Amino acid sequence: MRSPRKPFTRSRFLLALLAAVVSAPLAATAAPPAAAKPTVPGAPKPTLVFFMNPAGSPCQTQDGILKANRAQWEPLATLRYVRTDVAADREVFNQYGVRSLPNLILVGADGKEIHRYSPGIQSAETILSGIREKPSR
């Protein structure tokens, strides 16, 4: 005789959702293109990779900080968004081991990590100091 089915609780739902997300096939993405540094002709500038959930309030706040201070950091680095709602970006989350959002990582032209910021909202000053202190590769 079959046992009665357990009710679908919130925790069972979250576990099922997590299993579906983890087991989903991951698509590979190309490394972001490098651009020239304005101060040194021909030298590649690093890429500031912004891992975000566009629906999350902390990620929206971090995005606002980046946009408001674009004139300060844009000559030093290229910005690349990696979003939770883009299937092709899932591999990039795994590649850099990002589990907390928002998260910023400074990456060289070769795709290797130069500097990892602490997860959470970063001030414009913190972002700029991280870019300025790290040499581009």
Q: Within a domain: residue 3? A: no
Residue 49 pairs with which residues in a beta bridge?
Answer: 80, 105
Place of tokens 């970063």: 122
> DSSP letter at 122?
-
Q: Within a domain: residue 61? A: yes
Q: What is the pLDDT of residue 4?
A: 59
Write the pLDDT tens digit of every residue in 9-57. 665 655 555 444 444 433 333 444 433 333 344 558 999 999 999 999 9
CATH of the domain at 80: 3.40.30.10
Q: Which is nearest to 104 in space by CA: 20, 87, 18, 69?
A: 69
Domain containing residue 102:
26-133
pLDDT at 120 over 70: yes
Q: Within a domain: residue 32? A: yes
Q: Are 137 and 83 in contact (CB under 8 A)?
A: no
Per the structure, how many domains does the chain have?
1
Q: How far apart are CA 34 and CA 53, in angstroms?
A: 24
- Mean pLDDT, rounded, for 77-81: 96
Q: Within a domain: residue 52? A: yes
